[in-house]
Amino acid sequence: MAKFLLSLHVLASVLFIGPVAVAVSMFPRKARAALAGGPDRAADAGILRTLHRITQVYALLGIAVPVMGIGVAQVMDVLGQSWLIVSMVLTALAGLSLLLFVLPAQQAAVDALDLDADAAEHGKAVQGLKLLPMTAGVFNLLWAVVVVLMIIRPGSTTGA
């Protein structure tokens, strides 16, 4: 049963967290292009809306990853091990960074596309984009560290 649950957990990680990581990484560059205007503004705006939607939907689906991970940890009897606790904390931090920083900045940029006449809102969205590449990087770095911890599992006593 543990191998089946672990397989589902890894599969969910790849299918749900992977698209979020890619969309979050691509968003800042496309947002700058869409908000700057230019000949491809309509295409960039469409891509921007799609990336934001991918981030939203797959972030919601991604909740399954830590939920299944806790189930796997219970079956494997490793819930109290330090590598798993660190992974859980980092996963929570990644989720919080997505919820508190990345998604609101993305939403502000998407909203600014609809507010061409309101220069103040447009400027605020552009200002909010300054931190978005960093928060996207932090989000992806946290997940990368979690993946490494899941593979290396320092101090693990399972022998797997």
Q: What is the mean pLDDT of residues 66-75?
A: 94
Averaged pLDDT for residues 67-77: 93
pLDDT-wise least confident of 69-73, 120-124, 146-150, 151-155: 120-124
Mean pLDDT, all residues of the chain: 88
Q: Are 115 and 121 in contact (CB under 8 A)?
A: yes
Across 39-53, 104-118, 127-141, least confident range: 104-118
Structural tokens at position 8:
């589902």
pLDDT band at 72 (very low <50, low <70, confident <90, very high): very high
Residue 159's pLDDT band (cuts 50, 70, 90)? low
User: What is the reported pTM?
Assistant: 0.85
Structure-model confidence comparison of residues 120 and 106, the more confident one: 106
Q: Which helix (H) or strand (E) is 40 found in, with range?
A: none
Which own/partner contact pairs does 9-18 have at CB distance under 8 Å and 24+ positions apart? 9/65, 9/68, 9/69, 9/71, 9/72, 12/61, 12/62, 12/64, 12/65, 12/68, 13/65, 13/147, 15/61, 16/58, 16/61, 16/62, 16/64, 16/65, 17/58, 17/62, 17/65, 17/143
Residues 65 and 91: their CA atoms lie apart, in Å, by: 10
